[in-house]
Amino acid sequence: MITCFIRYEIDPFQKEAFEQYAQNWNEAIPRCGADLIGYFAPHEGSATTAYGLYDIDDLAAYERYRLRLLADPLGRANYEFSRERRFIRREDRIFLRRVEGQGREAKR
């Protein structure tokens, strides 16, 4: 299992547009095959940083998921919405793997 971690730099005057974009992904991402952890919009501190996270089996599953997302009507519409409104200034995507071991619960 890998986690796709997306860091967005957004226009601080279009936070509502980003939130609409994130809400759309809340529906489309799970439907297309990834396990959505969540989208996170600015609240306090930086008004330009937002995040999206989801889990997927591996990079091959990610490639299949991306094809389904591009074919999904809401997915296509959401990509177009972000291009038209231009509220995303930058998007960085990295893939992480969870490091297993003793967590907080095991230390108590």
Helix, strand, coil shares, percent, the chain, to 5: 45, 30, 25
Domains and CATH numbers, the chain: 2-98 (3.30.70.100)
Q: Which residues contact 96 (CB under 8 A, 6 or more apart)?
A: 2, 3, 5
Q: What is the pLDDT of residues 24-56, one digit of tens each?
A: 999 999 999 999 999 999 988 889 999 999 999
> In DSSP terms, which residues pair with 96 in a beta bridge?
3
The stretch 79-98 carries a mean pLDDT of: 96
The pTM is what? 0.85
